[in-house]
Amino acid sequence: MENKSCLISKLKIALVILNLYCVYASKDGVTFSTDRHALEAIRAQITVDHSGLLSKTWTANTSICTWTGVSCGFQVQTQRVIGLDLSDMGLVGRISPDIGSLSFLTSLDLSNNSFHGSIPEEIGNLSSLQDLMLNNNELTGPVPRTLFNQSSIRLIELSFNSLSGTLPDNVCDQFFKLRLSVIAITGNKLTGLIPSSIYKCQQLQYLNMATNKFNSSIPREIGNLTLLKQLFLSENDLHGMIF
């Protein structure tokens, strides 16, 4: 009887473990499916892969967590793509709107490639995003308002593209007393006003808006950025007094 009772207890434990495994496997199936679909859509918009790294490693029979440039979380129950680094790969193409489906992404680095077209507004759906690096590409069009809806973001690097239009007037509205410390948009074709709401980025330490076509005065509110260490506004059409 004792052996039988022990066996029943072991079977119950095994069933619990199996049930937990099935739950997590199901979750992973859904999440990996979502992330895989997004990554495949991103790959489909890349027309030239000079390094050949994506062609060699982004294959259907391998885990996406082993793909070049892809980083995944460590916890089984929340294992998702948390980082995408395709910098310096000689890639040519557009940034797929499906990038907004990588909902656990904290770092996105597509710098030093030849991505063209506009910045997808869907990047604003990445509520966990902390570091955004799209510099040194051939991106055009406006800076999406949605980029400034993310309260988690620490770094926005969009320098040396061909972005045009005005900066969204909601710059820093979501960042009051939060973590955004770097805004770099030098070397574009941005025009209009430097938004006075920039002062709401109270953690800002680096602000580079040089080499654009801003044609306003320098907002006196910039003086309220007490943590600011580096400010670059040269090569614009700024006028008025320096406060």
158-174 pLDDT, tens digit per residue, is: 999 999 999 988 788 76
Kindly indicate the confidence band of residue 5, based on its pLDDT and cuts at 50, 70 and 90.
low
- Domains of the chain are 2-232 (3.80.10.10)
Indicate the average pLDDT of the chain. 86
pLDDT at 75: 64
Q: What is the pLDDT of residues 18-71, one digit of tens each?
A: 343 333 433 344 456 899 999 999 999 999 998 898 999 999 899 999 999 999
What's the pLDDT tens digit per position in 200-224?
888 999 999 999 999 999 999 899 9
193 within 8 A of 168, measured Cβ to Cβ: no
Q: What share of the chain in percent tops pLDDT 70?
A: 83
Tokens, residue 104 = 């656990």
Reported pTM? 0.85
Which pLDDT tens digit goes with each residue over 103-160? 999 999 999 999 999 999 999 999 999 999 999 999 999 999 888 878 889 999 999 9
Contact 190, 165 (CB under 8 A): yes
How far is Cα 40 from Cα 49, in angstroms, rounded to an integer? Answer: 14
